[in-house]
Structures are given as C-alpha cells and as structure tokens.
Structure 1
C-alpha cells in the first residue's frame, strides 16, 4: 500500500503536516518514502517563519517549485545525509482543508529536474482533497499520536485510484486501484464509462452520469459521493473528484479523476438511512416545491438545523422554492424586504459570498463567527452550510442550512451534505421539467373542459376535476352540462383511456361531439350511439367510457345511458343513497354498431345526483366496491343545501392519486313555477298568419300577459311568415311561459339556418323579419332538429309570475290535432323528443 501511494503520486516522498493545537506551527505527522530514498523533511514549521509550507498554508494556494525556486527559500526543504542543504529536487505543497479552517499541508518531493508536470499536478491536487478528508476524520490531535484504530486512514491506508477520461472518444483508462474499488477485474474492464455505472447503486447513477457523461461536461472541478455494489453484495461508498481540462479552443478535452473509498466517513447507519429516506422522498417529487419540502423534511430535524432554504438558480438569480420556517420574521432583513409573493426573491448583489460559492460549485461550510454578509450570517449564526446542487454539468440550485446555536461540523456531516447535494440537484432538474409539463397539461385541460356551468332552472350543478399526482397530470376525464330545449338538461361524464396528451385530445373531441349531437335534439341513446361511431371511425387505439343523463327539469324524469362507465349515485331527500342500476353498453370506440339501452328514473325535489369517474372510487389501494361504499357514505352525511361542500366531501382524502378524478353533482330542486305550454299547427292558407296571431292573443290573455301582447304578436307574425314563405311542409307554433319569460318558437321542415341580412333596402317589402325579431326579443336563435329547425325568440316578462295561469285552455280550430294519449308520461316525453330527433 505504501508503494501504491508513491506510485499514484509519481513522487519520491509524500508527507503530511498538521496544525498543532496552539495554532503556532505545522508538525510533520506522517511520511512515506520510496525504497532507497533517504530524504528528510523538517519536523515542524513555525507559522511566523517563511517557507514553502507556511506560505501555502497561510494563503490557501498550492506551491509548485522547481529546484531553483526551492533553493531560493534557503534550507527549508528536504535534505539527505549527503546533502545537508536542499538537493536538486522539485517540491509540491498543497494546503489541506478549506472554508477558513486550514488543517495542514500535503508535501510531495519529486526528483524530476524540470518540476512536476501539469498532469501529475492535477492528480495530486485531487488526491490532496481525499487526504484532507482523512485528516479531518482522524482529527489533528490523533494524527500527532498515530494509533492503528484511527477513525480515518493514514497515507499508507488511504485507498485511492486515478483515471483519465478522453472526451473526444469517450474512452477511459483507469489504474488497478480504481478497478479494485469498483470490484471490476482488470481483464473485464473495456474502457467504457457504462461498465462503472453498471455496479453503481441505481439511485446514484444520474448524479454520477452528470459528472462522467461527455455531453454535459464543462471545465472546472466536480466532486461527488456515490455508492457501488461489489460482486459479494457489499455496499461501499466512494468519493470522486474530477477536473476537466480544456484545449486551446476552450472546449473540454479530457477529464482527470481520482476515486477513493469514503466508507470510513460514514460510520453511522442513521446517516445512510437519511440518504435513503431523502432519495425515496425525491423520487415522488413532481414539482420544485415538492423537492424543497422533501429536503426540509429529510434534513432539518435530523441535523438539528434552525433554517433551511432551497432555491433554483436561473440566470444567476435565486428563485426560492421553499423556506423553513416560512415566517418572514425568521429570516434576515434582505430576505424579508424581498418577500413580495409566496417566497422572497433576494437580490444576488446582496449575497456575494453565496454567489462565489455557487461559482466554485463546492459544498461550503462556515462555522460560528465567520465573516459573512448579514443576509447569510443571519441564516446560521451558529454555523452555515451552503450546498450547490449540481445536475447536467452545471449548478441548478442551492440549499442553505443554518443553525441557531454553535454547531460542530464533523467530516461525516460534510460527506453527508455532499452526497445529498447530487440527489437534490437531479431531483430539481426533473421537477422543473415536470413543472413545465404540468403547466402545459393544466392549460390543455382547462381549454378542453367547460369554463363555467350554465344556470339551470330547477337545480344547481357543481363539478370538480383533480388531475393525477403522478406522471404528466393530464388525462381523459371530462364532464359537461348542456341546456336543451323544453326545460331539459343533459349531464355527461366520461373517461378516455390513458394519461397523455393524446387522451386529452380525444377527450376534447368526444365532449364536442356529444354536445353537438345533444343540441341537435337526439334522444340519449342516439347521442351516445353517434359518439361511439365517431370514435370508431377516428382509428385510434383509445376507447372511452361515458354516462349520459337527459333530465326533464320540469317533471323530474331522467333517462340514463351508460357506455362501460360507473353507475350513477343518488342521494334521496330522506338521506338514503343508492347506486342506480343503469343497463349499460360497451365502452365507446369498441364496437361500431353497439346498442346503448336507456334506463328511466324519477327524481324528487331535493335529490342529489352524482356522476363520477373511476379515479374517485377505485385505485391500486382501493377496491371498486369499497370505493363506491365510501362515496355513498359521504353522500349520506353531506348537507345537500351546499352542493359545493358535498362535492368537496366526496373528494376528501384524495391528496395523492394515480388517476385523475372528475365529478359532476346535481341537486334537483324542481321548478318553482312549472312552464305552461301551448302549440298550434299553422295551415298553409291565405290568412294563416292572422289565425296564428289570434291563437297567440287568446293564449296570452288566458295567461294574463296583456303587457307583452303587442310585442309577442309582432314576433309571432315575423316567425310564422318567414316559415311559410321560405319552407315547404308543416309549420308549428309553440308558446312556452316560464316564471320570467315567454318563448315563441316556430318549427319548420327546412334544415337551412336563417341568415340575418347585412344590409336592408327599407323601400323593399321583405328582408326585415329577422331584424325585427332581434330588435323585439331579449334573445333569439335557431336550433337544428332532425330534418328541420326551430327558430325562436324570448321576451322578458314585465312582472315575473308566481303561479301558472289557471284559466281554461285557449280554443283551437277543430282541425288542430289533440295530444291526448293513454301512454305513460315517460313514454310520451320520449316520443315527443324522438319525433323531433329521428328522421
């Protein structure tokens, strides 16, 4: 092992000087010589004197001296019995330790007359960092009295190897000690980085790749602690320090690296478990805030820290992800003054020491009493650790850990912080990417779902949508509330298979298609059948489930169609709940000619109807039957007077989801004043418009609407005239009186939508009908019906009515057919809608 130390450094003598307890001199604690070499070094150096060793220790910079430069210092270097003055050798002196707390110096004696070349300097500098870790682990006092049970290795027990990575080819040359540390036989090493990665613990592979991957390397020095699994199953901690050399053009040319065993820095199992807990917490972090909270939860209490901050570095600016504690009063003034939103944005010019630490990219530790700017000193008056977070060859963030009372930083803790920095950096990059995807997914989801729900006569509808907390957080769940004619409303909920942008796109297309089919006036089974054929024709591998309900808000009759979806849930006014047994068909997009039967149900005033997707009632940890039972229990104990609160109660406890969740909840109240209707078939006679006006006048007088009579007659005249002049076939006039408005509608067999003229010649006898309807009505429009259309206008009542008119129905000509029928009410309603919808 002694021979390996000298072979590694390529020198004749390697020695360590350590600062004594009084801080007055550097004492020689250990020397390793090559065979046959008799160089002697001074036993100590007074800090008050001048020598290469004391100069390097005081200013913290290495010294590389040629024989002539060493001779200029006088008799302060190595000697031999034959040469009492400094012989013609080169000397390298490297300070050990940093952060304002020097430990000593590493001294190497080389016999090359030209001095130590650049390659060996790079390796020796990297080697010195591992020597410093060993000195810090043992303690200067212990090194002055060597003992075989020292906590840290001495020079001849320090297991260190070196490698060179050629960035142009990606090939690596490694000495036998590196291969032995990784547990790889020399004949099995093929010069590829992947061979080393194959024995690395999977959780640590991304951090190691960020250092060794040629595509992400930049100039500078990198350090990393990682774990490998040896062939016998032993878990071993290794420390890597690497330095990138650049060519004349500034591009990275090769990497010089040193690997050392650092298991001796981790004697406590609780620290290993801390890293494992942090790794597990970071694996589930999907946002930058999640990463920050995971770091706080894993490090603050175990380390006894008073403050923890995690921030991203963007364009040399700090973007804070989380502070603990989150109260502004707990942070220095520069942080409090920058607290403009959820987290502060401290200016970088106020924290120059932090900026310098980020540029160096090394874990920095300042003990109590260190000279720091107030913005940092106030974070850790008892000690402050700054962890630059590396990833992809750059510093992506920083973690600040501060202690209130005096904190002693041991070598194990420094190694622990170095190991966690790589994990957090990789998690931060991953979370930042997921944040961007989440923002895109959220925008996509919002654009595809309804922005707001319509106000419904006789009921209140509320919806909830929660994206999955795993993956892209965009799925195919959707809902819709569609007002229909005759006081009906369509309630739709569905779920497209998968969680992807493709699923969300299909979801948007299906929602649009079902809305279009519903507005056309098709009955529920036809709407779902049309949507199914559309999805089959789209030639996608995705299918969708759907539940469609057509609810008559006046009568409380509902018709359900289910396509592979979860059954609807009902909460009756007495508090009992049930899972409706709705006969179902296959999911949409599976069978082109599938049939979707309808199931009728009656709703009483005060009933809650809940349509849900499977993410609410089923997961890997929750059986479907148990999930439905929980949902029914939540419905039973909820207060129906607050539909929003009921929806929140149903979603309770869904903080972490593998699937997205959609919920559509309707409280059916029934109309306070039920609509009153009257209709008239307009025969094609010369005085048809006159008869239509007379029918309208008699009806409105019976309803007590004298104030609206003149405007209603004008709108009736124009609607009927347009239908008679521009269409062929049956024309029908429908009057509907609700609590606050009168609707006048004319059905005709022509599918052509009326077009309002852009300009009108007022001397002409035609072309003014739609303009008059628009001027006289509060609102008007045209909806397609199967094989025709309906043009309508609505008038606001001057005084809303409290009860429907009680007078006798208006007289109708004898030729007007009656609607008397012995069929059940549900069948009459279905037939009425079916005649409009089917060809």
Structure 2
C-alpha cells in the first residue's frame, strides 16, 4: 500500500502506467495494493483504444467510473475506479489508476485528494525519468518507487484555522500526535522561516486561486532539513467564498541540494543581494547558471499581465534565438504575448519547474531555445509568479535530480530579487518621470540650425536631480539655449529646477537681453527662501548673423566644435551661481560662429565624478567632439553620453549645429503715430513694402490684416504702437507691438450687424496662424500669411519711405 493518502480515499489498488517506446502504448510500470483477485489491472493500454486509462489521457482530465450497474465488473463483483492522467499537453508522463470495491465510488473530497496526489506523482515521475529505466513488468526492480510511500492529507477550515491531518503528515513534519493541537499555526512553526511567507499565502482566507502547489523545507526535531511537496485545492462555501482547503503533503527529498549546489546557491544569493535593478538581477542569473549548467541559452523575463517582457537574453544576438522571438525583436529585447507560447503559459500557471528532454513536442518558439533540452523556471514571489527563466541546450541534455534541486532553489531566490528590484526600479522610474516631465518633451525646429539634447538620470542613489535644458525660439531670428543644474538630488531640487526653467523662458520670451534674463532669474531664486542654488549658462544666438551672446552663472562654458574639426573652449566671463547674491552682475560675452559650427552645452555630471577630474573630463569631451561628424548631431550626443553607465550625478547635454540662414529674412518697421489717419498710412506703408519685395497677389489681404491689428492697438491701448513686417521665403509675418500687457480676446459670438468685434476673426481667417506673446512692458500680436511661391530675384531691400502719419524704421 502506498501510504495514508490511499487509505484516506478508500483506494485498495493503485497502478501507474507510463509510455513505452511505442508512442501509442501505455504499459504498467508499478502497482500497489491488492483486491484479492477481484480486479487485475491490464498490463498494456493503447491510447487509440477504449479504456478508462486511454480516455483520461486523450481528454487530459480524470475519468471517474462508479460501479452503479454500468461500471466495470471484477472477479469478485463490481468495482469503482478513477483514471488520472499524469502530466499532459505537451508531455504525457503516464496515468494513475485507482480502484476500490463496491458501488459507492469516490466522493468529491476523495476525488480532489486523488487529483492532487496525481500531480505529486507526476512530479516524481518527471524527476525519476532521468535516473531510472521504466519497468515494463510488475514486480521488476524500479529503483526509487514511482508511487511515493510517504505522503498524507489534510483539511483546513479557513474560518477557524482548524487543520485535520493524518498521521503521515505529522510524521513528515516530525510532530508527535499528542503534541498537535489541531491548529494550522502549530504546523507552520515546523517550516524553515524563509518558506513561511509562501505557506501563509496559501492559507489566507481571501485566497481566490483554487489550486496551489509549492515545495518547502521543514526542520525536524533532530535538526534534519527535509524537503516536502505541498499541493492543495481551495473549495468554496455556499456563498462562493473560500471555505476549506484540501491538501496533499508528500516527501520531496529529490529536491535536496548537494554540497556543490549549496555553495552555488549561496553565491547566487550573495550576488542577488547587491543587484539593484532588474537588468542587474538578470545578469546575475545568467552568470550564475549558464556556466555551471553548460547551457547554450538563458533568458530572463518579467510577467506584466499577459505579456512576457524579456529583461536579458544570452547570447544577446537575434540570430541565436528562434524566429518567433526575432519577429518580436522590435526594440532592444523581445516583448511578446504569453498566449503565443501555450506550453510556457501552462508551466507558469502551474508554478513549478518544468523540464523537457530532447525531442519534446514543443512549439517552435520554445523548441528552438533548447533542442537538446529545455528548463522553464517560473519565478515566484509573494504567492504569485513575477517572471520566468528559460535555460536551453543545443546538444542532448538529460536532467538529473540535482539540477532540479538547483533550479528550484534558484527560482525562489530570483523571484524575490526581481520583486525587490522592481520596487527600486519603480521608485527610480517615478523620480525620473517627475524630472522628465519638467524638461522639454521635444525641441523646436530651428531655421538655420538643428538642436538635440540628451538627459540621463543618476544611477547611484536613485534620487531625482536638478539638471535642466531648454531651447527657446525668440523674435527676429534669435534662439536661446539654456542649460543649468540645481544643487542636490531631491524633490526640492527638481521643483526649483522646474521653476527656474519656467522663469528663464518667460523672461526670454518677453524680449529681455541675456544678462537681464539671468539677473531676473537670480533675484527670483533669492526670493524663494530656499537654501538651494543653481548654476546656468544662457546663450542668445542670432541665427541670421551667427553672433552669440553668452552669460554664465557659475556653470561650465559652452564648447565649440569648429568646421575644420578643431575644438575650442571660449573664455566666458562668469558671475556667481543663481540664488547666492540678489544684486549679482552677469557680464555678456560675444562670440562669432561660422556655418557648420557645433556648440555644446553640458552639465558637470558628464565631465566630473569621484573618479574623474574636471580637467580630464573636459579634455575627453573635446576629443570626442573633434572626432564627431557634425552632420548628425543626434549621433554626436549619443557618443558623448555612451560611456556614462554608472553615474553619481545626472547628465544633460544640449547640442546645436549652426548652419546659417540659406534665405535671410527681410524686415521693415513702421512706428505708428496716434493720428486720425494712422491706419491709412500703415496700409500704405505695407503696400509699398510688399511691392518692393516683389509680393503683389496678397497685398490687399495683408493690408486688411494690418488694418485690423493696428486699429485694435490704437483703440484699446495707450503709448507707442509699432508695425513689423518680416519676409522669410514664402511666409510673411505681420506683428504689431503695443504697450498694454493685456492679451487680445477673440469674440466667441459676433453680432454681424455690429460695427466691431470681428477684427481677430478676420485675422484668423486670412492667416495660417496667429497669436500673442508678452513683451517687456507690453505685448506683440502677430500672424503669418502664406505667400504664392515666387522666383528668386535676389535680395530685396524694403523702401524707407515716410508718411505724415508715421515714420519708417531701419530695414535689412
């Protein structure tokens, strides 16, 4: 008899059938018990035939037959039986046949116990397959028994915590029957402390998963460490809530590690303790498993819902992996649906290590990983599966119990490490997301140049930093380049960074010169009553003339990569960091740029660290710029940050390649005097200017736009009004500046019989785009008009005519 489990379920005869060399044949491998000749188990079952064993294997689920008149008849009368498949798709390990006399059959609880026991037997078969030859004659020596002789059952009532166990379970745990008080907590005390959380997760009253299985360790009274296997099923009560847990506990000594495995697991545990990121955990797993197991491929992946997100593949080459994986190789690693690999999905769902020998009938996405053998390690943590590890061999590989022990121990360690790294990654990702949300999402397209930026957060400390950059298009063909760094790494530093970036952008758009912009930002930071300070470099670049005005507030100077390939660090006179002195002065330095010049702004995280002097870092960046190809600024930026893997500080890089204007804009300016016929003269000035520029078809439309904008400025503001016209290629920009900071408001509903309220609607209808920007002491209302493409007749200079109602400004 095979122990207390069968006695509890009323089983009088049990038999195990396993596949023979003939794939359509199951042969009797072992039998236990005796019906005293009342029933003789068949020695062979054909899978294509009709029998309870064949039916159960084909259906992949247990078959229960009750002796109610239609069931089988033995020599001694009717018998009831159950046929339970061992394993299943894609690998059938065999079938367990259980028989009892009489017509009562097996009740629901007995069937549940036997199905759990069948799962336990399947695990034993899988472990034994690599060690013993399957016997074909009853009574032949089979080495380790296929039907485990040590195993018992329990019933746990969730509401009360009472646990009814048979004597075999107590014997496995090393608890004397007189010392057992019937409560689950008494038995949990026998488990190794590291395994208690997994056991507790199974007995939680609100556990919704109906099937659970795990291996755990107990320390017996004499100090012996024993591996046990647990399989259980949660049964709901009348209201659908979990009420009872039926379980089977059996010996799992095949999981006991050897001394070599113990040392390997200890080294793995120590290495995982220092792994802070998911990629670090994955790298440790590959380094710890591939060489000792002589594996050809190792993959580690996280489970995110029903997606398999690969974190590391070794070897990291697409041609080393199956075509199904290469088709998903959209980015750095594949990201595929778990449903596309049903065998893998089943192994993860079952939650125990699955081993497939050479030639196993796996889907191509898995067969190509391990044609000589494949191990699938679901990674458990906190009662759920957080990932999976795949280990594959090209040559024939037979799995022994030692490897199963190693892989099982490894899976638990890696699962916990992945969960810990994921929590750290989540915190780092939150900090990074906060910081990135305060930086520009994309840089603007610039006429006469191309700007790119790169930002990398620190990897040491995982705290949010204060580096920032910005590219601000200004009027008259100017652009502002800004880079800065707030002291420290904290949410406070990120907050100050966001405020400083916003303030500098606002001051720059208002039209202040560079030194005034930086001085205003300094006074703002001083008034914030914070102990933090910031450094900053501000460059105002005229894209037409190639002149740059640089202001430096305690920050690194810009670096120049000249068209001939040489690099230069210009002497830029600087002022103190922002937030130190309220009345600090920030001098301007002018530098000239030739077309093809690359200007680089950077933060100190790129050029200075605990192991890198600032001078050496600056020299290395200059050398990298000299070797770079300025035709691709994005590649240049990538090359600059490529070597910063372990970073004590954030890294920000802003590059602009200055190309110069191919078609230089033409500008004309008119100062409008507040006279009754001011609008008429503004229209005349516009007509003369456009005809002088060779624009004829759109003159009437532009004059109407000018009429509306100038009329609004005169009617609703006080002080100076100025009209600016700018022709750039086939686009004409009309701008009217006034002294009122109040932005114009477009009417939402217009009475078309009224004499006003339609001006901005007309401007919007006749222009491709329009808007309003604040200026120092006022605002500018502007619009752009698309012109009919004209032949290039050379550079045109606007007339400088005057009229009684106005005066012409400078033209170029």
- TM-score by length of structure 2 reads 0.65
Within the candidate set 428, 448, 451, 1:458 is matched to 448
Contact 1:307 1:324 survives alignment (8 Å): yes
Query: Which residue is 2:8 aligned to?
Result: none
Query: Which residue is 2:577 aligned to?
Result: 586
Residues 1:805 and 2:797 are matched in the alignment? yes
Residues 1:283 and 2:275 are matched in the alignment? yes
Question: Partners in 1 of 2:500 and 2:768 — Cα distance?
Answer: 32
Once the two structures are superposed, the pairs formed by residues 601-616 of structure 1 within 5 Å of their partners are 601-605=590-594, 606-616=596-606
Distance 1:747 1:126, change over 3 A: closer
Question: Partners in 1 of 2:744 and 2:427 — Cα distance?
Answer: 45
Within the candidate set 626, 633, 651, 1:636 is matched to 626
Residues 1:665 and 2:655 are matched in the alignment? yes
> 5+ unaligned residues in a row in structure 1: which ranges?
1-23, 28-45, 49-58, 62-96, 103-117, 141-157, 181-190, 229-235, 820-839
Distance 1:461 1:387, change over 3 A: closer
Query: Which residue is 2:567 aligned to?
Result: 576
Question: Partners in 2 of 1:409 and 1:420 — Cα distance?
Answer: 16
Question: Partners in 1 of 2:161 and 2:93 — Cα distance?
Answer: 38
Query: Which residue is 1:399 aligned to?
Result: 389
Within the candidate set 413, 423, 430, 1:423 is matched to 413
| Aligned residue pairs, count | 751
Residues 1:299 and 2:310 are matched in the alignment? no
Distance 1:559 1:243, change over 3 A: same
Residues 738-776 of structure 1, C-alpha deviation per residue, up to 9 Å, x if partnerless?
A: 565554544332223334455364684x55654555566
Once the two structures are superposed, the pairs formed by residues 222-241 of structure 1 within 5 Å of their partners are 222-223=213-214
Contact 1:126 1:257 survives alignment (8 Å): no
CA-based RMSD of the aligned residues comes to 7.3
Within the candidate set 487, 491, 502, 2:477 is matched to 487
Residues 339-371 of structure 1, C-alpha deviation per residue, up to 9 Å, x if partnerless?
A: 6977585786x9776666545433233445668
- Once the two structures are overlaid, the 10-residue window that deviates more, 712-721 or 519-528, is 712-721
> 5+ unaligned residues in a row in structure 2: which ranges?
1-26, 31-40, 44-55, 57-61, 63-86, 95-109, 134-149, 164-168, 175-184, 219-224
Distance 1:793 1:269, change over 3 A: same
Once the two structures are superposed, the pairs formed by residues 170-249 of structure 1 within 5 Å of their partners are 222-223=213-214
Distance 1:633 1:347, change over 3 A: closer
Question: Partners in 1 of 2:533 and 2:740 — Cα distance?
Answer: 36
SS at match of 2:278: coil
1:489 CA displacement = 1.3
Question: Partners in 1 of 2:740 and 2:567 — Cα distance?
Answer: 49
Contact 1:576 1:636 survives alignment (8 Å): yes
Question: Partners in 1 of 2:28 and 2:769 — Cα distance?
Answer: 96
Within the candidate set 712, 731, 734, 2:721 is matched to 731
Query: Which residue is 1:523 aligned to?
Result: 513
Question: Partners in 2 of 1:284 and 1:768 — Cα distance?
Answer: 63
Distance 1:736 1:503, change over 3 A: same
Within the candidate set 599, 604, 627, 2:588 is matched to 599
Question: Partners in 1 of 2:611 and 2:209 — Cα distance?
Answer: 46
Question: Partners in 2 of 1:642 and 1:817 — Cα distance?
Answer: 43
SS at match of 2:399: coil
Question: Partners in 2 of 1:815 and 1:245 — Cα distance?
Answer: 91
Within the candidate set 693, 703, 706, 1:705 is matched to 693
SS at match of 1:751: coil
Residues 1:408 and 2:398 are matched in the alignment? yes
1:409 CA displacement = 2.5
Contact 2:719 2:738 survives alignment (8 Å): yes
- Once the two structures are overlaid, the 10-residue window that deviates more, 797-806 or 237-246, is 237-246
Question: Partners in 1 of 2:124 and 2:806 — Cα distance?
Answer: 110
Question: Partners in 1 of 2:28 and 2:770 — Cα distance?
Answer: 98
Query: Which residue is 1:111 aligned to?
Result: none
Question: Partners in 2 of 1:799 and 1:487 — Cα distance?
Answer: 23
Contact 1:609 1:665 survives alignment (8 Å): yes
Question: Partners in 2 of 1:338 and 1:626 — Cα distance?
Answer: 44
Contact 2:683 2:707 survives alignment (8 Å): yes
Residues 481-533 of structure 1, C-alpha deviation per residue, up to 9 Å, x if partnerless?
A: 11112322111234456777776666555444432332122333443455556
1:407 CA displacement = 2.2
SS at match of 1:486: coil
Question: Partners in 2 of 1:733 and 1:355 — Cα distance?
Answer: 70
1:419 CA displacement = 1.0
SS at match of 1:454: coil
Distance 1:215 1:755, change over 3 A: closer
Residues 350-398 of structure 1, C-alpha deviation per residue, up to 9 Å, x if partnerless?
A: 9776666545433233445668788866764544433232222133444
Question: Partners in 1 of 2:726 and 2:643 — Cα distance?
Answer: 46
Contact 1:557 1:600 survives alignment (8 Å): no
SS at match of 1:426: helix
Contact 1:749 1:788 survives alignment (8 Å): yes
Question: Partners in 1 of 2:795 and 2:196 — Cα distance?
Answer: 76
Residues 395-431 of structure 1, C-alpha deviation per residue, up to 9 Å, x if partnerless?
A: 3444343434332323321211011111232344456
Question: Partners in 2 of 1:194 and 1:476 — Cα distance?
Answer: 50
Distance 1:721 1:336, change over 3 A: closer
1:602 CA displacement = 1.1
SS at match of 1:515: helix
Contact 2:454 2:653 survives alignment (8 Å): yes
Residues 24-57 of structure 1, C-alpha deviation per residue, up to 9 Å, x if partnerless?
A: 9999xxxxxxxxxxxxxxxxxx999xxxxxxxxx
Question: Partners in 1 of 2:124 and 2:681 — Cα distance?
Answer: 108
Residues 640-671 of structure 1, C-alpha deviation per residue, up to 9 Å, x if partnerless?
A: 33322322221222355565433211123344
Contact 1:382 1:407 survives alignment (8 Å): yes
Contact 1:472 1:500 survives alignment (8 Å): no
Contact 2:472 2:505 survives alignment (8 Å): yes
- Once the two structures are overlaid, the 10-residue window that deviates more, 480-489 or 578-587, is 578-587
Contact 1:647 1:665 survives alignment (8 Å): yes
